[in-house]
Structure 1
Amino acid sequence: MACPPAAPPALRRWLGLGLFVLLCLSLGYALEKKVIKSKAGEKIGLPCCHEIPSTGSLHDYRVYWQKNTTDVVLAYAEGKMISQHERYKNRVEMDTRTLTLWISPVETLDNGPYQCVVQHLRFSQNSIVVCDELVSLFVTAEFSKPNITAEVSAHSCESTEMVVRCSSHGGFPKPKISGALNNVSVVWNASWVSESSLSPYNVTGKLLLNVTKDISITCSIEHNGFAKSTSLLLRKMNDCIVPTVPPSYNVVTASSIIIIIFLLAITLAARYLLRHVCSHCCKPQDSVEEGVKECTKPPVSSKVTSETSSV
């Protein structure tokens, strides 16, 4: 029997490349299906790799739900729950038919890979592994609306120095903080606080600004493709009062001497005027009194004449 001719080397290379691309695409699609996304506080179901048929029963299986392949979240054997993790107590349950693991409410600490291991029990009590598959859970948490505060650190007639802070809390994963000053991007001096890599984050941004006019500042918290923003109008302080400079000691002394001399001059002038007026008023009065006295004196010549005539 004759063998079919071998394919040309170029054709074999193209076939091999095509198979490799198809394999990569199929693996990528499979990995994408195994990632479950949720928000903190919701109820989420993690699908298992096996479903018990209608003719079967949970009593014929052992089911293990594990996290990070080490911590047993929930385990069933022969139809009974035999194990449950303390952290998931009263938050997890398993569908007895689809073997889906339901978590409610889901937390950010629940992030990570989960593994569903299903074993089928036979009459001899030996078991065979039906499936063993991983599924990843990605939980996000919403950040609070950013809060912007401004504190005046220094003030002058030309500008106002302010310390501006923007804060948000309770979100996951680690966010990005950005901002704009009158629509011009600014870089915040940011700091993040979290108890662990899977715990909610608190973020605070700080800016030192020299405000010379009224400006608008915006703070945005971005995570997982979403953003929350807050704006605040910063006003320059306009109550600028130029302080009066107190006069120097020499100026005060000279002013005091001038005032004293002025008062003395006024006093002396007043006294001079009073004396001049009094002297002018008193002279006519004295002359009148003397004239009256002279008029009242008896005439001497007439007396002498009468005496002479009598002799």
Structure 2
Amino acid sequence: ALDKKVVKSKVGEKVSLPCCHEIPISESLHRYRVYWQKNITDVVLAYSEGNMISKHERYQNRTEMDPWNLTLWISPIEIPDNGSYQCVVQRNSVVVCDESVILFVTADFSTPNITAEVSADSCKSTEMVITCSSHGGFPKPKISGTLNNVPVEWNASWVSQSSLSPYNVTGTLVLNVTKDVNITCSVEYSGLAKSSSLLLKKTNDCVVPPVPPPYNVITASIIIVITFILAITLAARYLPRHVCSHCCKRQISAEEGVKDCTKAPMSDKGTAETSSV
């Protein structure tokens, strides 16, 4: 099995890919054939009898090979350089070594930009659509975040022209904010990360209207009011009759008293006349 080594580098840097053979001091490159290939099919460069016989156009002016340890140097690194490389060494038409090395290329993403847009607002909460975006990085990233240090899951989408092109990533999140909270967005790629945070403020602090009384309280109040009205109505009908009846009795008694008073003097007069006789 091929022993695959791993080399990591960032875009713009200079990287060295080690070969599996080193030419002894007693010999020279003239006795060897050396092939550096990418993904087996593309020849990056090739040497035969000490002379370069082939070089891929995409690596023109960006590659060189050490004549002793056969290390391949690439500078500056580009995203399409990402992939598997193979060093094949022959001496007198006999394969001396054939091993692969994997080059992982990374490109830094921009610092995430977080924006918040209010989609609905009420006294109790504010609904916000949170967007986190970053661009220009490689490889394809993951996006994560926290809300007051509690992990949240973003709805992420990626845009790239190809698998060997820079990526743009956007994450969206819908939140109901009931108080001021802090949200953090992180873009992670190849063991690296870029992060930023934003303080979300609840926008509407309106006064909550009073809660109407429960149904049973309303029902009891209505019954009390109806009872009070009925009591007043009955009283209004009963009291005038009672008073008038009482007044009539007093009037009749008064008339009888007058009659009695009138009759009394007449009796006295009759008595006087009798006595005189």
Fold shared by both chains (TM-score > 0.5): yes
Aligned equivalent of 2:72? 101
Aligned equivalent of 1:141? 107
> Structure 2: how far apart are the matches of 1:39 and 1:91?
15
- Per the TM alignment, residue 53 of structure 1 is displaced from its structure 2 partner at its CA by 1.8
Judging by fraction of residues, say which structure has more strand: 2
> Structure 1: how far apart are the matches of 2:20 and 2:184?
48
Assess if the C-alpha contact under 8 Å between 2:122 and 2:204 holds in 1.
Answer: no
Q: Over aligned residues, Cα RMSD in angstroms? A: 2.2
1:120 aligned to which of 91, 110, 117: 91
2:61 aligned to which of 87, 90, 100: 90
Aligned equivalent of 1:174? 140
Judging by fraction of residues, say which structure has more helix: 1
Aligned equivalent of 1:55? 26
Is residue 2:25 matched to residue 1:41?
no
Letter in 1 for 2:69: T
1:220 aligned to which of 168, 186, 202: 186
- Per the TM alignment, residue 239 of structure 1 is displaced from its structure 2 partner at its CA by 7.1
1:211 aligned to which of 177, 190, 195: 177
Is residue 2:34 matched to residue 1:68?
no
Letter in 2 for 1:157: C
Aligned equivalent of 1:187? 153
Letter in 2 for 1:61: Y
Assess if the C-alpha contact under 8 Å between 2:126 and 2:204 holds in 1.
Answer: no
SS in 1 for 2:58: helix
Letter in 1 for 2:14: K
> Structure 1: how far apart are the matches of 2:6 and 2:112?
30
Task: Spell out, residue by residue over 1:276-297, the C-alpha distance to the aligned partner (whole angstroms, 9 max, x if none).
Answer: xxxxxxxxxxxxxxxxxxxxxx
Unaligned runs of 5+ in 2: 209-277
> Structure 1: how far apart are the matches of 2:173 and 2:198?
13
> Structure 2: how far apart are the matches of 1:59 and 1:31?
27
SS in 1 for 2:173: strand
SS in 1 for 2:96: strand
SS in 1 for 2:30: helix
> Structure 2: how far apart are the matches of 1:181 and 1:162?
13
Letter in 2 for 1:171: G
> Structure 2: how far apart are the matches of 1:142 and 1:83?
33
Is residue 2:95 matched to residue 1:129?
yes
Letter in 1 for 2:91: H
TM, length-normalised to structure 1: 0.62
Letter in 2 for 1:141: A
- Per the TM alignment, residue 94 of structure 1 is displaced from its structure 2 partner at its CA by 0.7
Count of aligned pairs between the two proteins:
208
The share of aligned pairs that are identical, in percent, is 75
> Structure 2: how far apart are the matches of 1:35 and 1:228?
24
1:197 aligned to which of 163, 185, 207: 163
> Structure 2: how far apart are the matches of 1:120 and 1:184?
61
Task: Spell out, residue by residue over 1:150-203, the C-alpha distance to the aligned partner (whole angstroms, 9 max, x if none).
Answer: 112233333322211001122222222111112222111111112222322211
- Per the TM alignment, residue 218 of structure 1 is displaced from its structure 2 partner at its CA by 0.9
1:230 aligned to which of 165, 187, 196: 196
Assess if the C-alpha contact under 8 Å between 2:121 and 2:204 holds in 1.
Answer: no
- Per the TM alignment, residue 143 of structure 1 is displaced from its structure 2 partner at its CA by 2.0
- Per the TM alignment, residue 225 of structure 1 is displaced from its structure 2 partner at its CA by 2.7
Task: Spell out, residue by residue over 1:68-117, the C-alpha distance to the aligned partner (whole angstroms, 9 max, x if none).
Answer: 11100001122221211111111111111211100111223212221111
Report the CA distance shift for 1:31/1:76 in structure 2 as closer, same or farther (over 3 A): closer
1:224-303 → structure 2 map (5 Å cutoff): 224-238=190-204
Greater RCO structure (CA 8 Å; 6+ sep): 2
> Structure 1: how far apart are the matches of 2:42 and 2:27?
28
SS in 1 for 2:80: helix
> Structure 1: how far apart are the matches of 2:95 and 2:188?
44
